[in-house]
Amino acid sequence: MALTAAVTSARVEASERVEVSCQAPDLELLFVEWLNSVIYEMAVRRMLFGRFSVRIEGARLEGTLCGEPVDVARHAPACEPKGATYAALKVAPDADGVWSAACVVDV
């Protein structure tokens, strides 16, 4: 959601679905692979995504992106993400067991 919010503050309709999958040896690297998969789909399909679902089993992530084609007039894209990096990369639960994930994304 934060990736989409960096591009637009407009509402993104969930009118189309895109399935993605990726894998990596640990959760932090899997997070970067996931973000880069989303960025790739945004670029090649010229779409924005506003709803996501993922299932992680071991080292593999299966996900669904729901969104719509970019409408420049309505979405007024502020930037185009280029890729997720390993800078400030962290995936971990907090003291209450709530998971969070973070990294720097180049735009």
Instruction: Identify the pLDDT of residue 97.
Output: 94
Task: Kindly report, residue by residue over 5-45, the tens digit of the pLDDT.
Answer: 999 999 999 999 999 999 999 999 999 999 999 999 999 99
Domains of the chain: 2-93 (3.55.10.10)
Dist. CA 81–CA 45, nearest whole Å = 14
Percent of the chain exceeding pLDDT 90 equals 100
Chain centre to alpha carbon of residue 39: 7
Query: CA-CA distances (angstroms) from residue 41 to 79, 86, 91, 94?
Result: 15, 20, 23, 30
13: number of CA atoms within 13 Å, CB side?
Answer: 8
Dist. CA 46–CA 71, nearest whole Å = 9
Task: Kindly report, residue by residue over 33-85, the tens digit of the pLDDT.
Answer: 999 999 999 999 999 999 999 999 999 999 999 999 999 999 999 999 999 99
Instruction: Identify the pLDDT of residue 93.
Output: 94
